[in-house]
Amino acid sequence: MSVLAAERILPVDPPFETVPNGSTIDVVVRCMLACCALGAAVLHFAYAPSHFAEYSLYGLFFAGVAWVQMLNAVGLIFRPNRWLLVGTALINAMVIGAWALSRTRGVWIGPHASVPEAVGFPDVLATALEGLLVIGALALLARPRLLARRFRARWFAPMAVSTAAMLVAGSAAYGSTPRFINAQTHVHAVTPFKANGSPCEQAGPPASQGQVFNPTGHSHRGPLLQQPIGLATREVLQGEQEQARAVAAKYATVADAERAGYRMSTPYVPCIGAHYTNIALAGQFDPAKPSELLYDATTPTAHIVGLSYLVYHPGGAPEGFAGPNDVWHQHTFNGGLCVNRSGVVVGAESTTPAACQALGGNKIPLTDIWMLHDWVVPGFECSWGVFAAECPELGGRIGGTAWDAPDPKRPPIPLG
């Protein structure tokens, strides 16, 4: 777009410099804003598929916002006018508002309704770019004459725009890498069960939101996407899992666990079993010292089916097992879990404070508490992955064995 065309849109004062062909400030600002719009569009396009897998309206929202932001970028370069700037400010402000709502109160529709989502790098980056779009559009609307002045140096404008483009492109590309996308992509791999056909899924929705939410706050119920690892990492992981299997062999029954200081912290729950916790081991991650053991019932002779590493670790998930496939989760939504005075979970995150008190418990936020299941017990392997938050084979009756079919006369425990 020519400088004269820009001056017809935004009236100008005489330039404070006399470079005849120098770029005006508003042209540079619009080019930078176009870069921001394209960067935000790339991020929304990248995460639209995973949101479609969660809920069609989530996916439509992401795809729609992406297309609007891409067209916004084109308009800022080739068709700038007052109404475009007003639309830029309003639309991006609404997207920021939707993001803020999803991170504080939860959105009002779909599977994440009323469930606050976690904050991650990609969504913070997209929101920052949208914030710059709002501020830049308002500045162009408020001070058109000042911003229509020219720069002294010919090189400044192309250098500024190129730098902004590289920064936005690099950040958006990093935010769209598998490190972030895989964490919230639903994987519908082939399993021994048809959709909604496993005992776990027939038992109903997840007992608690946190067990199927990843660190970015998106549901990942189902098989975990396994990222490839090298030989050296595989050997380290193999050694760590050998230590974990030794623990499982040592505490084969609930009676063995209780003699070692583990105490029941949940009754039997379809998909995740009965948890027995030794809080003294929660200070750090050690493959040979899991702070929780998982059983197929709560009787003394119940069999171990898995391990769980409950770790207090401020500032993010612990390093954990070797490789990228150990996806840790938290139970911090809606004020956390409902726990009674004996340390037994009696209500899920969806339980209200009043309902929790009626159950004889209190809501515990569990801030900085991270959990990882490890389905490594021989004979009890999990088809959704060794580090899956849930195991589909582990369904059935409360207090029954892991392999009992769901009994409609004995519904799952009322953790919600």
pLDDT in tens, 163-202: 888 999 999 998 888 767 655 543 333 333 344 556 666 6
Q: Is residue 253 domain-shared with residue 353, that is, in the same domain?
A: yes
- 165 plus 206 within the same structural domain: no
Is the residue at 108 inside a domain? yes
Residue 388 lies in a domain: no
Does residue 190 form part of some domain?
no
92 shares its domain with 138:
yes
**Is 205 part of any domain?**
yes
The residue segments making up the domain with residue 146 are 3-184
The per-residue pLDDT for 185 is 43
What's the confidence (pLDDT) of residue 145? 72
pTM value is 0.53
Look up residue 275 and give its DSSP letter. E
Structure tokens of 236? 């380290």
Q: Is residue 210 part of a domain?
A: yes
Check residue 197 and give its pLDDT: 55
Tell me whether residue 409 is in a domain. no
- Do 101 and 242 lie in one domain? The reply is no
Among 156, 184, 212, residue at a domain's last position: 184
Angle at 36 between CA 33 and CA 38, to 5 degrees: 110
CB neighbours (10 Å) of residue 170?
11
Instruction: Tell me the H-state helices in 176-230.
Output: 178-181, 199-202
Question: Are 171 and 62 in the same domain?
Answer: yes
Secondary structure class of 169 (helix, strand, coil) = helix
Q: Are residues 70 and 161 in the same domain?
A: yes
pLDDT value of position 9: 45
Query: Residue 48 domain-assigned?
Result: yes
- Cα within 13 Å of Cα(208), Cβ side: 26
Unique residue bearing structure tokens 């006399």: 18
Tell me the helices (H) and strands (E) count for the chain, helix number first: 12, 8
Same domain? 251 vs 120: no
Q: Are residues 32 and 179 in the same domain?
A: yes
352's CB contacts (< 8 A; 6+ apart) are none
142 & 23 share domain: yes
For residues 338 and 345, the answer to whether their CB atoms sit within 8 Å is yes
Q: Is residue 413 part of a domain?
A: no
User: 249 with 337, same domain?
Assistant: yes
Per-residue pLDDT tens digits for 393-411: 886 543 333 333 333 333 3
In this structure, the answer to whether residues 209 and 357 fall within a common structural domain is yes
- Cβ proximity of 283 and 213 under 8 Å: no
Counted domains in the chain: 2
Whether residues 177 and 226 share a domain: the answer is: no
Residues of the chain with pLDDT under 70: 1-22, 54, 111-115, 146-148, 151-153, 179, 181-221, 395-416
For residue 89, give the H/E element and its range: helix 82-104
